[in-house]
Structure 1
Amino acid sequence: MKRIRVAFFAEILEKDLDGATRTMFQLIKRIDPRRFEFLFICGVGPDELYGFECFKIPTVNLPINSGYSMALPGLYYYKLKYKLEAFNPDVIHIATPSLLGSFAAKYAAQRAIPVISIYHTHFIAYIDYYLKHAPFLIKAAKSLTAGGQRAFYNNCDKIYVPAETIKTELIALGVEAHRMTIWKRGIDTRLFSPAKRDTALLYGVTGNTYPTIIFASRLVWEKNLETLIAIYNHARHIALKVNFLIVGDGIAKSACVQSMPDAVFTGKVDHETLSVLYASADLFLFPSVSETYGNVVLEAMASGLPCIVADGGGARDFITHGENGFKCIPHDASDYIEKIKMLLQSVALRRQFAEESLNFSSNFKWEHLAEIYFNDLHQMSDVITPQYQQL
């Protein structure tokens, strides 16, 4: 049986760096070596993954996003070209529309190799934050980004998008609808579960028995941290006796600590610890409007935690307002406070949201999503390609 050869391009292949890499590894760890042969091309990663080679190329660190780097395929142009020609891929998977992604897309186009991509990051939503000190550049930057996204994704044969909201926004940018397939994300309900509740551990973290509101994310400004800080200040202004538990790390952490002096900051924690914190808290708060999907919201829901999220970005698609959570006006701290108070005052409402969230999250299985992905690779590899041009 001939194995299908897949060249997999990604900037970074570190297992738990963020939601995008966690999604990639859910697929990578399920590769059947009897059916597939993978070649991973990345800037940062191990020498091999599950028995398959990782071909690493030079990178440059990104000053606007600590901990992230960008691969520079131009510095390894011929080495990378020869590696790919020796591998002779049937399908190309591109994680990101970056320099590396553009190289892969051009290589695929000139050889008529089918391309699959998963839409991980809604870059255009970040521009308001990156250019908040130069607002006169925002319109031009969004136009440039939209053009780049449109050009890249319209050269992909299949794009997995996680939410109808994101699909609609991409169509508005000019990405062709027929290329997109709704492909959500899975959740490990054995890891994230109400059974992980440990009030003693939470007391050790907070030092009191007040209700605990948890926020979990990378601490970067594009997560709408200004609104999180405003909610905290509003809660303190009205003397609302709650704990704010902030889980995560990032370039904005020091500013958040300074702005929220009574909040509890855990830094980055492993998934086992995170699952206990979710299950032990009382409410999950997530004001980000830049999410492509919002893995943390689904994790909180699977933990039986009532959620209050922004009515913006992909994360809002999880919530049916008033049934399994609340959606708030994205930058209106008073709206969030109103919904927080409603939940804290009603045991019945918290129980309803928790039960509905558990029912909702139980439908998201990685095994099913992986089966779709690998079946699509198989179908795409059956496409007969014409003679290619020289790169």
Structure 2
Amino acid sequence: MLLAMDERIMIESFPPRRITLRVSVVTETFPPEVNGVSTTVERLVRGLQRRDHDMQVIRPRQTSDGWDREGARLGLEQVLTRGLPIPRYPQLRMGLPAQRALQSLWMHRRPDIVHIATEGPLGWSALRTARKLRLPVSTDFRTHFEAYSTHYGVGWLRRSVQAYLRRFHNQADCTLVPTQALADALRAQGFERLIVVPRGVDTDRFTPRHRHPLLRESWGAPGDTPVLLYVGRLAPEKNLELLVRTYRAMIDIDPRWRLVVVGDGPMRDRLAEHCPQAVFTGALTGDALARAYASGDVLAFPSMTETFGNVTLEALASGLPVLAFDYAAAAQVVRSGVNGWLAPVGDEDAFVEHARRLARERDWLPRLRAGAADAVAHLGWDRIVTQTEHIWVRLLAAHAAGPGVIRSSAWWDGQPAIGG
């Protein structure tokens, strides 16, 4: 059953705008869930609300869901649908098909734009319904599901998943992607009408000022004891075997290093077995997460399946140098020897060697920390929200001009990429 709360928030500090959009955002992950997609969608929605746009979020109801009340307090209309737990991720839910309900909802109150953030059953229903009602529709490409198939023992499905994703996104009027490199790779696979919109970071929340000596002491890292931090899901696609190998290489050189793991997932027990001396905090959000970032010394990010990697921006904004592979967000903002170290994609030996160098020559750390926050100071959310708003206004105008215009490249070619 769909439950809707229809309220608007008017922010008087913003001047009147010539166009106020009613945007329906369809997503199968949103707070209270903790992941990069959830965070990014919520930031976008809140930013557009502050610009006086009328935002509607359609998402699965969560088992423990305080956001239905929080959303109402903030004037956000939410439509909660049925969902099921995702296999191996019982804390996450995927939406079930809801085409009839969406058609009734949008015929009763027609949105200007439908934006689909995820490609699951709920997203597919939204895409089909938007096409049927001739609504302008944009999508996000946020997760390499086809790459995940290898890590979950169904690599033989990779091509089928890739074909589904291509078919899904090519039915939209445009697809937003976070980096030019990803846009180039997807275009080579047959994806169409791609627009680069980099992701942002909350530079007010994530800041070096949140470094917390008492938190470090609770980790067993008082004073100048160095901390290697990992933040993210504890799942096969995150390449956590390399995290273990990296940490072992560092303590072979300097046993004082501590490993702190922020996050949860199906590999937690296995990781704890291989690193019994590590500190496991579980998933953190808000100020607790900000303090954890700022209280570390190096972020290790061994994943090679990211479309972006929000943790890279959050760590740098917190003054935390990043050790990562040279792709996605890290390729854009990390500079080896300036605010972290980059290894060639797939070269795990080089990744570990950079870690050994940090363990041997800790005088690098103050210099790397000094260059971290400056690297992402230009990626505050206001700029990203402005670019997305600009794209949607142009999409609406092109859609009004007729089907010939919307399928041409005239309206979306040359869309400006901010900070990326």
TM-score scaled by length of structure 1: 0.87
1:365 aligns with 2:389: no
**Matched residues in 2 for 1:271 and 1:34: separation?**
23
**Matched residues in 1 for 2:214 and 2:101: separation?**
55
Percent of paired sites with the same residue: 28
1:343 aligns with 2:358: yes
1:325 aligns with 2:349: no
**Which of the numbers 218, 229, 232 marks the counterpart of 1:204?**
218
- State the Cα deviation string for residues 190-226 of structure 1 (Å, max 9, x = none): 2222222223330222255531111111211211112
What is the aligned partner in structure 2 of residue 119 from structure 1?
141
Asked whether the equivalents of residues 212 and 242 of structure 1 are also in contact (C-alpha less than 8 Å), the reply is yes
SS at match of 1:60: strand
What are the residue-to-residue correspondences of 1:1-391 with 2, within 5 Å? 3-15=20-32, 17-32=34-49, 35-44=52-61, 46-47=67-68, 48-49=71-72, 50-73=74-97, 76-131=98-153, 137-138=154-155, 140-176=156-192, 179-206=193-220, 208-209=222-223, 210-236=225-251, 240-329=255-344, 334-346=349-361, 349-382=364-397, 383-384=399-400
**Matched residues in 2 for 1:249 and 1:64: separation?**
12
| Pairwise CA RMSD | 2.5
Deviates more, 1:310-319 or 1:22-31: 310-319
**Matched residues in 1 for 2:329 and 2:146: separation?**
13
1:236 shift after superposition: 4.8
**Matched residues in 2 for 1:110 and 1:386: separation?**
15
SS at match of 1:245: strand
**Matched residues in 1 for 2:196 and 2:93: separation?**
28
Asked whether the equivalents of residues 179 and 328 of structure 2 are also in contact (C-alpha less than 8 Å), the reply is no
**Matched residues in 1 for 2:150 and 2:250: separation?**
26
1:275 shift after superposition: 2.0
1:313 shift after superposition: 4.6
1:44 shift after superposition: 2.3
- State the Cα deviation string for residues 281-302 of structure 1 (Å, max 9, x = none): 2211110111111111111111
- 1:215/1:62 CA distance change after superposition, 3 Å: same
**Matched residues in 2 for 1:311 and 1:32: separation?**
35
- 1:384/1:330 CA distance change after superposition, 3 Å: closer
- Which 4+ residue blocks in structure 1 deviate beyond 6 angstroms? none
- 1:3/1:293 CA distance change after superposition, 3 Å: same
SS at match of 1:290: coil
- 1:366/1:207 CA distance change after superposition, 3 Å: closer
1:231 shift after superposition: 2.1
SS at match of 2:198: coil
- The amino acid across from 1:102 in the alignment is W
1:27 shift after superposition: 1.8
- 1:315/1:145 CA distance change after superposition, 3 Å: farther
**Matched residues in 2 for 1:207 and 1:306: separation?**
18
**Matched residues in 2 for 1:160 and 1:81: separation?**
24
- State the Cα deviation string for residues 97-126 of structure 1 (Å, max 9, x = none): 111111111222233321112222121221
What is the aligned partner in structure 2 of residue 134 from structure 1?
none
Aligned length: 377
- 1:276/1:37 CA distance change after superposition, 3 Å: closer
Structure 1 residue runs without a partner (length 5+): 132-136
TM-score scaled by length of structure 2: 0.82
Asked whether the equivalents of residues 227 and 331 of structure 1 are also in contact (C-alpha less than 8 Å), the reply is no
